[in-house]
Structures are given as C-alpha cells and as structure tokens.
Structure 1
Amino acid sequence: MTSMDLIPHPRHVTAYSEEDGFTLTAGTVLAAGPGTEAVARWMRGVLGAATGLAFAPGERSADGVVRLAIDEHVPGGPEAYRITVDPSSGVRITGAGPAGVFWGAQTLRQLLGPDAYRRAPLGRGRTWRVPALHLQDAPRFGWRGFMLDVARHFMPKDVVLRYLDLMAAHKLNVLHLHLTDDQGWRVEIRQYPRLTEVGAWRTRTKVGLRESQVWDERPHGGYYTQDDLREIVAYAAERHITVVPEVDIPGHSQAAIAAYPELGNADVIDTTELGVLTSWGVNPNVLAPTEDTLRFYENVLTELLEIFPGEFVHVGGDECPKEQWQSSVTAKDRIVELELKDEDELQSWLIRHFDRWLAERGRRLIGWDEILEGGLAPGAAVASWRGYSGGIAAARAGHDVVMCPQSHVYLDWRQSEDPDEPVPIAHARTLEDVYRFEPVPGDLTEDEARHVIGTQANAWTEVMDSVRVVDYMAFPRLAAFAEVAWTPLPAPAERDWPGFERRMTTHYARLDALGVEYRPPGGPRPWQRRPGIPGRPKPGPPPVG
C-alpha cells in the first residue's frame, strides 16, 4: 500500500527519492494566500480532525509550511492546480482558482494515507509524511456529476451532506438531486403546501421491482425544507460542488397530481382518486398541458431559483406516455390551438416554454434525452441516458450534452453475474466496465465533441432503500467513474486496468476509513445480499447505442 496510489490519477507527477519527503508536525503552519481562506478552514476542520495537527496560521516555521496560493496562470482552467513537496520547506498547493486549490488539498489528503480520512486521530503517534514530488493536474470535464435519486427513497439531509463529502474526495463537482417523481415530492414549496403535506408520503412501498410480490407496509416519506436545501447548497459550495435540482415535467408527476388533482388529465381519469404511487415503472398519469399547469410549475421554479443559484435546472422530460393526452379533449384542443403536429410536439412545446422561462431569468434548462422528441428547445442541454445516440444528435445540433448512458454509468445496474448480487437489475456493469467507459463518442467531430461538457453517474433508488445499499451500489464504481470524468485517459481498450486495480487496494482503505460500505472485490458480504427479492437481470452485454 502506498500513499501515491492517487484516484483520480493526476495528469503529470514526478516523484523523487523514497527517502525524501516532508513530515507534518504540530509545529507545521498553514499559510493561506488571498482567496484560499475557505480551503484553509476546510483543511483545519477535516485534516486537522484526522491528524490532530493544528495547522496554525503563519508564514514561516522551523517545522515547515503548507502554503496555499492562487495563480491564474496555472494551466488547465480554474480547477487546475499543482503541488510541490520539498523536504526542506514543506508543501505548496497552487491553484488557478479557489477550486483548484481545493482539489489540490484533496490530493494532499490522499498523499497522507488512508488514516487522513478518519474523523479523529487514532492516538498511536503516527507520522504524517508526504512524499517529495511535483504534481500538475487539471480536470478533463467541467461537469463531473453524480445523481442521487431522493424521490423514490428519501435520504435524510445528513446522507446528502455525507455524499457531498464523498464527491469532494473524488473531485466530482455536480450533485444532481432528483427531487420529485411519482413516488414522492421532496422539496418544500411555500405556495403549494400540499406538495409536501400529501405528495411527500406514500402508504406503502413495493420491495423490489414491479414483478416482486413483496411489500413494505410502512408508510414512507420525507422532504427537505427550503432551509435544509439552502444548507445543502452552501455545504456543497464550500466544496466547489454545484447542486442541480430536478423537478419532473410532464411525466413522473403523480405525487404532484395526488396533492393537486387539477394538474392531471381530469377529462380522462378521476385524478382525485390518485395517491402517491407505491410501486415502480413508467406511469401513465402525467401532467395536463394547460395554462394552469404552466403557472403552477413557474411558481414552483420561482421558489427553487431562490434556493439553487447554479446555472442549470433539470426538468426531467423523460418517460412521458402520451395515452392520456391522446384521449384528452383538452390536450387535443391545445395541439390545434398551437398548430402542433402531435403529442410529441405538445411535450416539446411544454419543454420549450420552460426553456424560455428559465433563460429569461438567466438560467439554463437541462433534461433527459426525450426532450429531443418533437424538436429540441433552443438553449437546452441534454442528459443523454438512453445510450449515446441522443447526446450525439444534440451535440451535432449545437447543444451541450452531459453523457450518462444507462449502459455504462447507471449505478442501480448489477455489479456482476454473481447470483448473490442484491435485487439484480439489467446487465452486469463491473468496476472494470465503468473504468473503461468513454464519455465522448468517437464519431463526433472535434467541434461537436466540445459540446460534451461532462459526464454523470446516476443512482436511481427504487431498490436502494437505505444509505447502506446506496453505498454498496455506488462504490467502488463511483471511484472508477471519477477517474474517467477527471483524467484524460487513453481509448478504453488501452486503459491500464491492472494499474487502476492496484491503486484501488489503497483506495479501499480510504473508503474503509470513511465508513463507506462498498461492494468488496470478491462479491457481496452476507448482509449485503437480498435473498427472496427478485430483480430483472438481463443476459449478455448491454446495448451501447
């Protein structure tokens, strides 16, 4: 095990003699240059807690200095950084911006060894030694995302904060919070209190997928107050992570319709009979394409914009069955009124409306690749989940793309062919499969490829009913994904899988120190299995289109 087993791997590193290095002691001071004060606070709070060292402020000390500085000339953009460790003087972390300094501090944490990930020192007088080196690093993508679905199974605020720390440890910088769906509405909206009074709670929950006959008869629910979300956003910002909220429009909306039945297609079904959905799968109960629906969601988004200051707002747009619209006089009249061709164009009209509405307020809409159907809204970005094809079409049309194909980076898919994998879904996607994921399709031109602004791994929680299960499904694959998102790697077939596997030996020790209940390389531990709960495994390799 070596502290040089860095994940994600840096672009350039020169390591010097193993006998050289710098030892942090109680007398080592922390010199925070202008603009690095927040990183210094993080280091004192996190690294100080793990090591027991004070990192007192100061410019010089006989025991050396850890120096933080900003130099906009560090190549690679605002998140770039370099580290120099000199045995005689100490550690210098220089970032092109505050984010770069922070990512450099995360690398320093890895260099200190797995015990630097604990919350208190172990009390056995260990030496905190950093190897002598010169390291220069910068990310490949500006969007390095992780989507956490808190709508299907609610995750308390402390779980979200913990995952922000785990993201920061892996240099991921976008948390996509999936806040609403058929099975629950998780964000307080002051103007519409029934969204959480009614929509945040379901009477029971299907255990496993739709085929399962097992039910958890306990009511399930929860939501975040607006102050909870402000805290999450502020906590993320301190870690240079942007939080992107998702509120689903027009499908995946039964929880909202259960709270406010007038949002549904009341001329087709009795929407007053709908409750928050207790099972899983694509659901026909979608929003009605009315002016009242538009005003309702404008008001919802107005409150969200007060909480989430980031550029992007995710509106879903996926898996919207059109059967109710096809039977609805209101929807048919709307198609005629707007001179649209069909229900696909009706959905496109609705998405375009919110694209314009957000743009007028200085924000940008992003949605799943179904928003391409019926015409892509100008200015909208696409999260390409049904393979690469949607992202390719969007990039060729000049739209920005976040690549998150289910065939590669859906973390609810099973991790091996092992029959003991809990509630096995779809095809097996191993740690090596994720490590060999390439976000930019080779058939894009150089100009088109620039529209791939990043990549994202998605954790859908239909069968992840606790943080222990989320840990198991996310890790260690999220570590491999983090390297793909950060490090410019060679073609998938040429990647150094044995080298990554070796580096993971050290990284498992970091995850252990963090308390992450990851899937071990040899398969699930007995308590990580889920006997008696059927999944939906598929044989053979997944489609990659």
Structure 2
Amino acid sequence: MNAVIPHADPAPPAAGGVLVASGRWQVVAGDPALEQVADTLRALLAPHLSDRLLPAGTRHTGVPTLTLALDDLPRAAPRTTLGVDPAGGAHPADEAYRLRVTADGITCLARTAEGAFRAGTTAAQLIATAHGTGELPFQEVADAPRYAWRGLMVDPARTFLTPDELRRIIDLAALYKLNVLHLHLTDNEGWRIELPGTPRLTETGADGRARDFYTVADYRSLQEYAARRFVTVVPEIDLPGHCRTLREAVPGLREAPAPAGLKERFPFVPPLDLTDEATHAAVTRILAEVCELTTGPHVHIGADEAFGATPESFAASVRELRAIVRAFGKRPVGWQESSRAGIEPRDIAQHWVDVPMMDLPDTSEELAGRPELATAGMTPEIVGALKSFFAPTDQDVERVVEAGGRILLSPQSHLYLDRPYAAESVPPEQAGTAGRLGFTAYRPRSIRHTASWDPSAYPVPDASVAGVEATVFAERFKGFEDVTVLLLPRLASVAEAAWCGRAPQWTEYRERLARHGRLWTQRGLAYLPGTEVPWEGDDRQDRG
C-alpha cells in the first residue's frame, strides 16, 4: 500500500522489488515542454529532500530519477472528468497520468503538462511519506480526477494572510491535487485587494489603523505562482451584502429596501441597492478593475446572506452584478442564494447550506442543551429568525439544476473547515488551541466526520456538478498557524473526495493519513494530530 492522498490505487508490476527513496534524487524533464513543471516540482520537493535534491541541470548515474514525460496515453482511469474547467478551457483539462516506480526511480507519463504535474505530486508524496526505511515497492498507477473544479477558499478579509503565506497554501493545495484557490477578499471586516481607481478601499480604516492588503503587484505575482502549479485564483468581491468596508470607503451608497420592521428587531449592515445609478457606477468601477487584474476566467460576486434586503431588491442587485462581470469578459460565480436572481446554463452557484444542515434547535430546551450556540449569542428569537431567513435555501439546488446551471459543492456540514474539532479528536496537549478555534455556532465534529463526506450522495446529476470546494472562514482565529490547524488533517479527505468522487474508506484512509503528519512537519505547517489517527513517529509529541 502507498500512502498517497488522494487515493491512487497501485498495481504491482510483473517483477517485484523496492526502490530505496532515502538517498539523493534528481528531477528530469523528458520533454522541453516540461522544463517549467520540473522546476516547480523541485521547489515542492525541496522541504522534504533538502540537500538530497540535486540542482537542475545536473545528471548523476546511480541516483534515482523522477522523470516527467509526455506520452500519447489512453485514458488512464475509468473515472470521467466532469464539471467546469476552472482555468477557462472549453473542456476540462486532461489531468490523467500514469506513474511507474522501478529500480531507476519514478517515471511520470501524461498527455499534457498538467497531467505530468499531477503525476509529479503523486511522486512527491510517495517520496515524502515513505516508511523509515525509505523503501518504495515497485508499482504502477493509472489515475484521473472525477471532478474538474477542486477548490479551497481562504478568508483574508477577516484574517489577513501575507502573500508568502498564500504561496504556502497554494503549495499545499497543489500537493493534494486541488486546482482552485478562492480568495474571499472583501467582507465587513476588511478589503484586501488594491484597486487604484478606488484608493480609499485600502487606505487607513475607520479605526485609524493601516489596512493590510494585496497590492496590484502582489495579486499578479500570486496568480503567476499559482498558475505554475496549475492552480487558478478566483477572487471574491462579496456583494450586495457584507459591505461595511466598502461603505466606509465610498460614502453615500444607497441602502437596499429592507423588509418591514427588520431594522427595529435586528442590527445589520444594509446591503447595496445596485438599481441606484451612483451605486451601480461605483460597483462597476470596482469590478472592472478586479476583472482586468484577474487572469483566470471566473470572478466570484458573493451574493450570500444579504440580510436586510427585500427578495426583489436582492435579485435585482445580483442580476446587475452578474451583468457587470460578464461585460468585462469574466464568468460570474455566486453563493447559492444568487440562484434566486435567475440562473443561466453557464452560471455556477456554490451550495453551502440548507435549513437541516444548519442543525438548529427547535425548542428552548434543545437550545439550552447546545452550549456552543449560547456562546455564539443565540436566543430563541434569533434561531427563529435564522430559520425563516434561510428557508429559501432548501430550494436553491433544485432551482439551479432545473435551469441548467452548475453546482459547486461546499456543504457547511462537512466542507466548512472552520468547524471546531470534537473534543474526542483533540489530544490533551492541544485542547487549548483547539478550544479557541472554529466558528462557535457550529457543532464540533470529528476528523472522521469530515472524511465521511461523499459527493455522490447528493441528488444532483453528474452533468450539473461543477466540482467540490472546501472553505475556511476566519471569524474566530488569527494568523497562518490557526488556518493550517483548522485545515489539517481535514483538508486531505476533502481533496480525496474531490479527486476520486467518493468518500475514503476510513480504516484504510487513516493508515495513509498517519504518514502525512511528517510531510506537514517538513513543510513547517502546524496541524492537529487527532486521536483518531495512528500518527507515525513522534508527530503528536512534536506538534504539542
């Protein structure tokens, strides 16, 4: 058995044997078109091999070689690549590959550079997770993805992540064959992308403190870095709600009409009314710059939780947001609520919630038994208001499918990785860290709970699925290490479900996962060594 995640089922070759992977390695491009891929793989391997990795341009006999080659292979696996190509091609990219481990090293074969890179990440995991002896059994792997869009959303709007930290997240995503980094760049708490046409967005905030943000140069550089790892950056400008920072920077934007009596009952940041000419012009200027700066084909318009707008006003604003993005040559993506403004066949709606998934109590007695909700300030009135506000979510997926749109699966129940860890998953030495992380309104869940998620269990036809995306919102944590502790180890099982199209088999999966703690430690990434996993070596002690 190898420890590769996502699962890559190995077949033994005709002649058995082992390759010793604990010595020096060299990475070679067998085709000039793969030289940049080889350079990128050397960079990904560097934390694991250190001075055991030979520099580019050197060839040594007797040293195992990771060889990348192009080959006119037949389709490498029975899985069908489905969904929307996040890089913008007319058809999803060909990421199929074959890999062989022999006495000479590891050979990666694919029809495309992207497929060769995916094979290279499998090879990198084989090397990094080899047992202490460093022996890799001879084997052959034929592999291809189930879903074309395999994403991770991070939330620098609430907790800023530096460009270098985002690069480390891109590397992690690429190692697990994710191919989208969704950046939640704006929210009530922050605006994180420089737009020269509206400089006040990234000037000193209302509290007098300088804002953290990505300059134009930062953003372009991040996209270039991601593209070399076959990861597409999707920026999110979350409107018409979640707009306090925008209102501070651009005073006078018209408020959306609110439902009668709402202002007297609950506080909220008024969503925008994009039917207003001045508000429409300001938002158009902003989205024009975002679209111009973005090299990928998609721009996320948000369109979630527009609390304080009438349904009619919300739908009108979402239609305008979509039209603006399309006018500047990009394809709009929105949270599932955007479907209520109408859906066209090319539209993508990101499914994240329905009322049953929210797991809210029905009675005051049930609420009293949910301490995490009391900590979040929930009252019977607030719970009732939430159920009423989110009631239309129960029809969103059906609405998208019937209109011919695509669903991006991000269910809060399993793929919101800002959910607290269940106490039984947390080793005693990390109880303090785990206890302060995660959104308090969510019921804590185990590592196995996340790994049980099966994308094929949804009543959505294959042709209607754009792909899978995990999210980690940042309401309750600060800093890069908190992000990685929430992501790891749970992100690995999401990546497997997205690539393979099914949940991993837990007993077998936890044995593979146990060998990845060492990989994360070598990359300097903090993680939660959950008690459900038999971590190899001294990982739990090292991470305490």
Q: TM-score, normalised by structure 1?
A: 0.77
1:140 aligns with 2:146: yes
Could you say if the C-alpha distance between residues 158 and 14 of structure 1 is closer, same or farther in structure 2, counting changes exceeding 3 Å? same
**Which of 46-55 and 225-234 deviates more?**
46-55
Cα separation, 1, equivalents of 2:291 and 2:34: 28
Alignment of 1:57-206 (within 5 A): 57=57, 61=61, 63=63, 65-75=65-75, 78-87=94-103, 89-114=104-129, 130-198=136-204, 201=205, 203=207
CA drift at 1:457: 0.8
CA drift at 1:438: 1.9
Q: Deviations over 1:457-509 (max 9, x none)?
A: 110101021112111111111011111111133xx5xx521111111110112
Residue equivalent to 1:252:
242
User: What amino acid does structure 2 have at the position aligned with 1:391?
Assistant: V
**Which of 167-176 and 314-323 deviates more?**
314-323
CA drift at 1:18: 6.5
2:507 aligns with one of 498, 503, 506: 498
Q: Deviations over 1:400-459 (max 9, x none)?
A: 110101111111111214594424441223221111112244433xxx321111011110
Query: Contact (CA 8 Å) 2:344, 2:403: kept in 1 or not?
Result: no
1:437 aligns with 2:453: yes
Residue equivalent to 2:370:
none
Cα separation, 1, equivalents of 2:344 and 2:244: 24
Residue equivalent to 1:339:
none
Could you say if the C-alpha distance between residues 526 and 347 of structure 1 is closer, same or farther in structure 2, counting changes exceeding 3 Å? farther
Could you say if the C-alpha distance between residues 263 and 170 of structure 1 is closer, same or farther in structure 2, counting changes exceeding 3 Å? same
Residue equivalent to 1:304:
290
Identity of paired residues, percent? 30
**Which of 50-59 and 290-299 deviates more?**
50-59
Residue equivalent to 1:277:
none
Could you say if the C-alpha distance between residues 220 and 138 of structure 1 is closer, same or farther in structure 2, counting changes exceeding 3 Å? farther
Could you say if the C-alpha distance between residues 128 and 508 of structure 1 is closer, same or farther in structure 2, counting changes exceeding 3 Å? closer
1:35 aligns with 2:33: yes
Could you say if the C-alpha distance between residues 129 and 522 of structure 1 is closer, same or farther in structure 2, counting changes exceeding 3 Å? closer
Query: Contact (CA 8 Å) 1:176, 1:246: kept in 2 or not?
Result: yes
User: What amino acid does structure 1 have at the position aligned with 2:251?
Assistant: P
Q: Structure 2: which 5+ runs fail to align?
A: 77-92, 259-265, 355-393, 533-538
Could you say if the C-alpha distance between residues 299 and 16 of structure 1 is closer, same or farther in structure 2, counting changes exceeding 3 Å? farther
CA drift at 1:258: 0.6
Residue equivalent to 1:455:
468
Cα separation, 1, equivalents of 2:267 and 2:143: 43
**Which of 185-194 and 75-84 deviates more?**
75-84
Q: Deviations over 1:12-57 (max 9, x none)?
A: 5436777432658658562431421111112333435643232554
CA drift at 1:231: 0.9
Alignment of 1:526-541 (within 5 A): none
* SS class of match (1:67): strand
Q: TM-score, normalised by structure 2?
A: 0.77
1:283 aligns with 2:268: yes
Residue equivalent to 2:526:
517
CA drift at 1:358: 2.6
Cα separation, 2, equivalents of 1:282 and 1:440: 39
Alignment of 1:41-52 (within 5 A): 41-47=39-45, 50-51=48-49, 52=51
Could you say if the C-alpha distance between residues 528 and 135 of structure 1 is closer, same or farther in structure 2, counting changes exceeding 3 Å? closer
CA drift at 1:193: 0.6
CA drift at 1:393: 2.9
User: What amino acid does structure 1 have at the position aligned with 2:353?
Assistant: R
Residue equivalent to 1:475:
488
Cα separation, 1, equivalents of 2:61 and 2:256: 73
Q: Deviations over 1:247-272 (max 9, x none)?
A: 0110000100011112243999xxxx
Query: Contact (CA 8 Å) 1:148, 1:460: kept in 2 or not?
Result: yes
CA drift at 1:90: 3.5
Query: Contact (CA 8 Å) 1:184, 1:202: kept in 2 or not?
Result: no
Could you say if the C-alpha distance between residues 250 and 525 of structure 1 is closer, same or farther in structure 2, counting changes exceeding 3 Å? farther
Query: Contact (CA 8 Å) 1:179, 1:246: kept in 2 or not?
Result: yes
**Which of 97-106 and 367-376 deviates more?**
367-376
Residue equivalent to 2:80:
none
2:411 aligns with one of 405, 412, 436: 405
Residue equivalent to 2:376:
none
Could you say if the C-alpha distance between residues 129 and 48 of structure 1 is closer, same or farther in structure 2, counting changes exceeding 3 Å? farther
Cα separation, 2, equivalents of 1:499 and 1:464: 32
Cα separation, 1, equivalents of 2:12 and 2:106: 15
When you count helix as a share of all residues, which structure comes out higher? 2
CA drift at 1:168: 1.0
Q: Deviations over 1:340-377 (max 9, x none)?
A: xxx32332222222323333443211101111224336
Q: Structure 1: which 5+ runs fail to align?
A: 117-125, 205-218, 269-280, 324-342, 530-545
